[in-house]
Amino acid sequence: RKRVSDVSLISSLSVIEYLYEDELSGITFIERHLPSESNASNESTVGELTLDSEATDIYDWSSINNTTSASAQVTALTLEKESHSQVNHETNVHQTEEAEECNLQNLQNLTPQDIKQRLLKYDESCGPITSSTRQVYLRRLASLESNPGRIGLSKKVPDYPSEMCDALCGKFESKIVEDLEAKLVDSFNINGRQWREGSQKSSFTYLLLDPRITRNLPLRAKDLPESEVFKTFIHATFYIGKGKRSRPYSHLYEACTKMKRESRKTSTKVTHILDIWNAGFGVVSLHCFQSVIPVEAYTREACMLEAIGLHKVTNLKKGDFYGAASTWSPQQRRQFGVYLLQKALQIFLAEGERQICVPDLKRS
């Protein structure tokens, strides 16, 4: 069951909390919903948000904890100590930004040439540094020097499949695969066909994202180029799976159990979920392509895995293809996967960021 449990403020932005209870497992947890830009109450609220929309550097989820800077280590320790309360979570956000703000002040005396040279050390190029762009580049430099583990939004593209590389560079044409979706849906509407796990339309595909990378992307997106928004979304995605309406967050239950019981054998997926929780954040669980039969959800999951690359997520194996997709070429599957990930991003931007928070995950 679901009920609104509380309304709080994080960085001057209203956050609505929902209480979920799974009677079968005995697990109760809180979902914190940070509204998207389209749902923000007014421009002043958006303007006061402390998450800097100009800080466009992106962490890859797999390397986010490899930063070696002292400020990042201090921030991590602060997050760990304060991960068990919402008030302290707000403090974490401010302290992270205060560290970058301090670095920004120390860079104010740099000449335009100095700024360019220091940005080049991080493979970052920049245009003319004028009075109107100076602070943008200084803020970017401060962020990079505070967190050397970050991946800059340069022209370099990580080792993704070619179709995804094209999309990350803004060169992907979705029109070439739009008809594939119609053919896929039609192939699952054959009367009398027996499918794996039945024909009840109660399944969906979900993506797990790291909020330390998204940084409330739905609210920041309006100030970023589309290509950077998509890069952030892809870098933040660390798992893709299939879920069912009756137990929408069952994929988090294993991590909840592992957190309460010491275990030597823990999957990469669970380890990363626990890492997010230990840092004082909630896992972003994005549900998309809902109300479909199980095999359609499995197929959409498989296509997205092909598009992003199994080595870029924590999934242990490739997905299964059914219906029309079972006859597609590998290229068509990857193209369709990119198309689905772009649609998933639009769902994320429209709905806002929803974090499932560990302090509220417990057995009754």
Q: Could you report the per-residue pLDDT of 1-52, keeping only the tens digit for each?
A: 443 333 333 444 567 776 666 666 666 566 777 766 655 543 333 333 333 4
Q: Are strands 353-363 and 27-34 parallel, antiparallel or unpaired?
A: antiparallel
State whether residue 38 is helix, strand or coil: helix
Among 96-110, 146-160, 267-281, name the most confident range.
267-281
DSSP-assigned letter for residue 251 = G
State whether residue 193 is helix, strand or coil: coil
Mean pLDDT, all residues of the chain: 76
Instruction: Give the helix/strand (H/E) hosting 178.
Output: helix 178-187
pLDDT for 213-233, tens place per residue? 999 999 999 888 898 999 999
Among 56-70, 82-96, 267-281, name the most confident range.
267-281
- Compute the distance between CA of residue 189 and CA of residue 309 in angstroms, rounded to an integer: 29
Q: Mean pLDDT throughout 90-106? A: 66
Look up the pTM and report it. Answer: 0.66
> Tokens 């690359």 label which residue?
309
State residue 21's pLDDT score. Answer: 64
- Compute the distance between CA of residue 31 and CA of residue 123 in angstroms, rounded to an integer: 38
> Tokens 């550097």 label which residue?
57
DSSP-assigned letter for residue 65 = G
> Tokens 């957190």 label which residue?
259
- Compute the distance between CA of residue 63 and CA of residue 69 in angstroms, rounded to an integer: 14
Q: Are strands 2-10 and 353-363 parallel, antiparallel or unpaired?
A: unpaired
Higher pLDDT, 79 or 175: 175
Residue 153 has pLDDT above 60, yes or no: no
> Tokens 């290229």 label which residue?
331
pLDDT for 279-310, tens place per residue? 888 999 999 999 999 999 999 999 999 999 99
Cβ-contact 15, 2 below 8 angstroms: no
